[in-house]
Amino acid sequence: MLFINERFLVIKASENNQSNVDIAVHGENYTNFVSNFVLGQPTNDICLAILKSTKPSAFICLYYVGRTNSNRFWMAPPRFQRAEYYLYDSSGKVMPYLAAYHPDNKAYKSISDAAKNAHSVYEGLMAPPFTMPYDQIALTNVFQVQHSGDYKLIVKGRIMKINDDSSLSILEIPPVSLLIHFREEDVPHGPN
């Protein structure tokens, strides 16, 4: 179940779902949110938040940290690469991507390049204040992890700002990092 409006976010997923999430944000009380997520540094009143999890997955939220309502609109249209993922083992070695991993990275120059939904609203359009799910991956579907152990995940975010002339510019959101432990049963066995 997912319910979002300006002041409330509830995300629930079943226990057998890899993105097991049970979080609520109400008004100005973000204690529950913050205790379940690691927040990155904000830029333009936006930061990334990554769910602390015992599973080898990444659930990313876009978190609005501004204290006033803004008339600025943002966009993350379909096939726009919202997040970039990097995984390092305990010695600092970069884990390579799987050969089959090819993230979407469609280039949008203007808001008119984005598709509209059945209600003629541009897909991926958002305005603050918002706290919303932004991206989600299973790390074993992205990286060549061959051994159990401790790893460091770094996630860099991207969102598009809608300029006054309807052009779009990319805003890089500062990275957020999280330590992840891969158990033996989390590591894929067989050819990667």
Per-residue pLDDT of the chain (192 residues; tens, 9 = 90+): 233 333 334 333 333 333 333 334 444 445 666 688 899 999 988 899 999 988 899 999 998 887 666 677 899 999 999 999 999 999 999 999 999 999 988 999 999 999 999 999 999 998 877 788 999 999 999 999 999 999 999 999 999 999 999 999 999 999 999 999 999 999 987 544
Domain for residue 141, yes or no? yes
Helices (H) and strands (E) in the chain, counts: 1, 12
Domain for residue 192, yes or no? no
Domain that holds residue 35: 2-186
* Total domains in the fold of the chain: 1
- Which residues pair with residue 136 across a beta bridge? 59
Q: Could you give the CA distance from residue 35 to residue 38 in angstroms, rounded to a whole number? A: 8
Chain centroid to CA 164: 26
Domain for residue 9, yes or no? yes
pTM: 0.79
Q: Could you give the CA distance from residue 51 to residue 39 in angstroms, rounded to a whole number? A: 9
Which of 55, 20, 78 shows the shortest CA–CA distance to 153? 55
66: how many CB neighbours lie within 10 A of its CB?
14
Domain for residue 191, yes or no? no
Domain for residue 84, yes or no? yes
